[in-house]
Amino acid sequence: MHTLDQITLIGEGLKRPECVLTNADKRIFTANWDGGVSIIEPDGSQWSLLANQQGFDLKPNGICLLENGDFLIAHLGNEDGGVYRLQQDGKLSPFLLEINGQPLPPTNYVHLDFQGRIWITVSTRTQPRADAYRSDVSDGFVILCEKGTARIVADNLGYTNECIASPDGKFLYVNETFSRRLTRFSIAENGDLSEITTIATFGAGVFPDGLVFDAEGNYWITSIVSNQVIRVSKDGTSQETMLIDVDKNHLAWVEEAFQNHSMGRPHLDNVKSSLLQNISSLAFGGDNLNTLYFGCLLGHQVASLTQSVKGLAPSHWNFKGPTRLTTKSETL
């Protein structure tokens, strides 16, 4: 297990960097709660690409880098959701705002697979969302966007969080945060999901959120609240805590509330830790894809950890990202 003194903090003043992405050019991209994406350049400088649309308060949760440098952004509004496209000039346009004739609830994550398909997760239909921080609520779902159409391909999931497709496009993996499991679906040629399989279940104090593969096909998962990184073997038979930073009494307080179905925003919006501020996502990057970068719900920096395990390059690895422009959308 790694120790906190191995952690390096990168960036300054980030606004709820819940989601983190990397690319081959050593750029780091994070969600920016001010309404866009923050970019940390290889030289350590940083800037933000913010939506210039007036009268709309974009709240990015998951972000997805596209080949042309645009981003797809999952909007986690208080009551509204959807996915928006953010262009390099700050223009914001709808990508998907409704499904089956109904407005999308607050939207969690958006993922581009190696086949060019877009997968979107909505954690819950429950309002307020905190009422779904329970093991007995399963109203999350997954949307597939392909060839100009969007449809729900999986439903009744236990707080759907990050998802990732296998490189060959045959399987989709989904973290169900408050059902405490990593779930796999088989993907048919037409995109239908079937053969739902539980790859791993997690015990007390673990709430799976972020999800990536390493080069050997193992799963790396972040747990919110417990500030934890867990490696799950590719066959799901073993789990290893790679990093943890949490006060045991605080975690016990949250766990008791979860078991009593009384968990709410205070249990998520506070953290008692030495360094890390509620790890929510992770990405492999660096020269050899052996540096881990962590997005943090409550942090203002990106944490990084260089170690021996090499990650799998994501589908967007060779995408350049946006060009840095001095415009009204940029915040230095």
Give the pLDDT confidence of 69-95 residue by residue, as tens digits: 999 999 999 999 999 999 999 999 999
Contact 160, 123 (CB under 8 A): yes
CA–CA separation, 261 and 95 (whole Å) = 35
pTM for the full model?
0.96
Least confidently predicted of 79-83, 92-96, 165-169, 326-330: 326-330
Mean pLDDT of 257-284: 96
pLDDT category, 326, cuts 50, 70, 90? low
Residue 115: what are its φ and ψ, rounded to 5°?
-95, 0
CA–CA separation, 192 and 194 (whole Å) = 7
Mean pLDDT of 244-257: 97
Name the helix (H) or strand (E) containing 280. strand 279-285
Q: Is the pLDDT of residue 51 over 50?
A: yes
pLDDT at 332 (0 to 100): 38
- Mean pLDDT value across the chain: 96
Query: What percent of the chain is predicted at pLDDT more than 90?
Result: 95
Give the pLDDT confidence of 293-311 residue by residue, as tens digits: 999 999 999 999 999 999 9
Q: Is the pLDDT of residue 328 over 90?
A: no
CA–CA separation, 35 and 327 (whole Å) = 15
Q: Is the pLDDT of residue 279 over 50?
A: yes
Q: Is the pLDDT of residue 177 over 80?
A: yes
Contact 33, 59 (CB under 8 A): yes
pLDDT category, 54, cuts 50, 70, 90? confident
239-244 and 279-285 strand pairing? unpaired
Q: Where is pLDDT greater, at 298 or 332?
A: 298
- What is the set of domains in the chain, with CATH numbers? 4-331 (2.120.10.30)
Q: Is the pLDDT of residue 53 over 90?
A: no
Q: Distance of CA 297 to CAs 32, 65, 75, 239, 266, Å? A: 11, 20, 15, 24, 13
Longest dimension (CA), the chain: 51
Mean pLDDT of 162-176: 98
Q: Where is pLDDT greater, at 327 or 117?
A: 117
Contact 303, 293 (CB under 8 A): yes
Residue 126 carries which side chain, given as an amino acid letter?
A: T
Query: What percent of the chain is predicted at pLDDT more than 70?
Result: 98
Contact 86, 49 (CB under 8 A): yes
